[in-house]
Structure 1
């Protein structure tokens, strides 16, 4: 027995070493799986397109453009979709897997069912169409815009900054337009409006979210009888959410199915609000029966509405933002086939499929990083706070559409998260003002008598500064990169 002990120990060590090597090998290979699958999707998009259009002449251009459109769609799914489901994950209303599944389904449904059948070839009207009326120049400009905007969103995802893909595409189109026809080709008043949205979007989103959080805290969470207050106010808040999303989807999400004016959309929203108030009132009463009179009980009442809000935001996002990926692609396809530059083009179904599947694959492969950033790392969220973020995203877009203001859904959602966090800081300081005066800590030097106040920071300043910086430089960065790509393509092809 003693003789066999040493070989067994040696065998155990060998097996342990092998397991460690296999684990190390897996850890090295794991980060490469998602990029490899993303690359496969891009290659498949190129190959399937080439089967239809061939490799000769314009067929090669269309196939390459399909690959770029697929790459852009992957990046939009990786970056932009986090804004819709991130708060629900951070609030533990959804698991990461559940959020990915819901977002992928509703993003794809929004893109395919309501993604629009016509798209503008010159994004947001920022470039004079006559300045790039030559088909060859226009194709290289759209190619450059796709490459630059996709690379910038990819970089932003890598550093963990949720940015506006709309602004990335705008910057890409502007840079290529300037490189092709000079600064006079740019509609500078329109660009000024877009620049203003950098400030308008997050500020509006933050204010609206903070106001709803204040309303809920003052009227429900901070009341002595929280259950009675919740039964009174939660159905009203659900009704507001239903009305806001019904209006939002009518205005933004269903343009392909039916065109609805804002006044009729508001009427649809009002009817939906009344309907859901009477539906939710008995449900909330039943859910709260026999529950403890606590803030935790109030928060749980918002869990299901929050999940519904995440799904609806994903549907509306897919309906709207898929055009950022496929707009330039659809323009390239039309121009290559018809040899003409037009203001608007129809979207072929295969182009829409590339955009829809790209959004979903990008979300599933790369989305968790930004979902955690938005939902967990900026500030601490619970179902109540996350509900305020989702509600703010829908309401702010409606208000901005009514006022004719160009806003970014990404900036609104992330701004709402900031608004909730900074409101909590301000509320804590006001509530604990007397305690703050007495609550002191010794300095690091440890000198007796030298003390300072202890302030509670509920928003991570490093993330705040990183995201703001990314927002500010998105359009200039995408523009410069696009101009360089255009000059390179024009030189090589010319």
Structure 2
């Protein structure tokens, strides 16, 4: 029973991840008027799916990182009820954020959920130092780097005339390639984090776990991404095609680098940070919406922790009944 329940909860978190995150790599395509929302979403979803499948061969470093070992006791890591609570806490956090159109980090939601379910299951045995070193430092550092890199890349591209104000065939091709690369890297970085939750399920081939998570991420993006797409594409900053390309290239560079070094960065933070870097450089940032997004980011970890702790209690009651 618990194995089936665990699989369902992991599929749920993958679906909500796709709904909240599939547009992040391609937001600049829509925001700059290079393509329509649906066309951008289809391209981003296809490349995210490709990255998710590639993660089955390239993402084992992150698979190990998100197993929970070293953060909570090994006995808890091997408990399906604990892992189900982590998945539920993260999924519910992403689900709520998507309903309000806020792009939040599934990585942050999972991090909070690991801590919340860990405290509920083992009290003081959660190793906060390891949690900070492995998860929180890269997550808080990445948006700052993205803001700086996004603005810097735009200034460089403009200086060498690769970021014009208007669309050109060459710019469109480069923009699609960079957005596709950012989406591919997102799939590569995010998928192992969710597949790691399946490692405790007996008899599950991890390769099929990658396929299942990849399919659910794609479905979530195709069926439920519109609200977050509007926020990312239109409400962080105004942008022209050249500025959109610079933001996309910055996102692709950072997330790809993090993925190959097994760093659990948030594609959300990198994508929004790159867009904000462009907005600051061009003085077109929509600061009220940026403030709302930052508030959503701040509450993601405690929300994930609280919902996971409640989920652990509920799952425990179900197990006794």
* TM-score (structure 1 length as normaliser): 0.59
Q: Residue 238 of structure 2: SS of its match in structure 1?
A: coil
Q: Cα gap change, 1:404/1:461 in structure 2, threshold over 3 Å: closer, same or farther?
A: same
1:45 matched to which residue of 2?
none
Q: 2:186 aligns with which of 312, 317, 320?
A: 317
Q: Distance in 2 between matches of 1:379 and 1:300?
A: 24
**Counterpart-to-counterpart distance in 1, 2:169 and 2:129:** 48
Could you report, residue by residue, the CA deviation over 1:39-93 in whole angstroms, capped at 9, with x for unpaired residues? Answer: xxxxxxxxxxxxxxxxxxxxx2222222222211111111111211111111122
Separation (CA, whole Å) in 2 of partners of 1:80 and 1:189: 26
Q: Does 1:347 align with 2:173?
A: no
Q: Could you tell me how far 1:401 is from its partner in structure 2?
A: 7.2
Who is 1:394 aligned against? 252
* Equivalent position of 1:447 in the other structure: none
Report what 1:303 is aligned to: 172
Give the number of the structure with larger relative contact order, counting CA–CA contacts within 8 Å between residues 6 or more apart: 2
1:119-198 alignment, distance < 5 Å = 119-120=63-64, 122-123=66-67, 125=69, 127-132=71-76, 135=78, 138-192=79-133, 194-198=135-139
Query: Per-residue displacement from partner, 1:219-246 (whole Å, max 9, x unpaired)?
Result: 25xxxxxxxxx3xxx3xx9xxxxxxxxx
Q: Quote the offset at 1:420 in angstroms.
A: 0.8
Query: In the superposition, relative to structure 1, how do residues 391 and 168 fare at CA in structure 2: closer, same or farther (>3 Å)?
Result: same
Q: How does 1:127-276 map to 2 (within 5 A)?
A: 127-132=71-76, 135=78, 138-192=79-133, 194-217=135-158, 219-220=159-160, 230=161, 234=162
* SS state at 1:333 partner: coil
Q: Among 205, 209, 216, which residue is 1:358 paired with?
A: 216
1:375 aligns with 2:201: no
Q: Is 1:466 paired with 2:292? A: yes
Q: CA deviation at 1:368?
A: 2.1
For 2:310, the equivalent position in structure 1 comes to 484
CA distance in 1: counterparts of 2:299 and 2:244, whole angstroms = 28
How far apart are the structure 2 equivalents of 1:199 and 1:114? 24
Structure 1 contact 142–331 (Cα < 8 Å) conserved? no
Taking a change above 3 Å as real, the CA distance of residues 172 and 463 of structure 1, as seen in their structure-2 partners, is same
The superposition leaves residues 192-231 of structure 1 with CA deviations (integer Å, 9 ceiling, x where unpaired) of 55333343111100100101122233x25xxxxxxxxx3x
Q: Which residue of 1 aligns with 2:275?
A: 417
2-side partners of 1:400 and 1:106: how far apart? 17
Q: Residues 51-130 of structure 1 correspond to what in structure 2 (within 5 A)?
A: 60-116=1-57, 118=60, 119-120=63-64, 122-123=66-67, 125=69, 127-130=71-74
Aligned residues: 317
SS in 1 for 2:25: helix
Return the offset for 1:124: 5.9
Higher mean alpha-carbon deviation, 146-155 vs 372-381, is at 372-381
Q: After TM superposition, where is structure 1 displaced by more than 4 Å over at least 4 residues in a row?
A: 398-406
Partners of 2:44 and 2:105 lie apart in 1 by 18
Note the C-alpha offset of 1:300: 5.9
Length-normalised TM-score, structure 2 = 0.88
Q: Evaluate the alpha carbon distance shift between residue 201 and residue 325 of structure 1 in structure 2; reply closer, same or farther with a 3 A threshold.
A: same
Q: Secondary structure at the match of 1:102?
A: helix
Per the alignment, in what secondary structure is the counterpart of residue 182 of structure 1? helix
Structure whose CA Rg is larger = 1
**Deviation, structure 1 residue 187:** 4.1
CA contact (8 A) 1:77 1:363 kept: yes
Separation in 1, partners of 2:133, 2:195: 25
Q: 1:396 to 1:113 in 2, by over 3 A?
A: closer
Deviation at 1:165, TM superposition (A): 0.7
How many Å apart are 1:183 and its aligned residue? 2.3
CA spacing shift, 1:376–1:124, aligned 2, 3 Å: farther
For residues 289-316 of structure 1, give each alpha carbon's deviation from its aligned partner in whole angstroms, at most 9, with x where no partner exists: xxxxx8436x664221111111222222
Helix, strand or coil: the match of 1:380? Answer: coil
Shift of residue 415, structure 1, vs aligned partner = 0.6
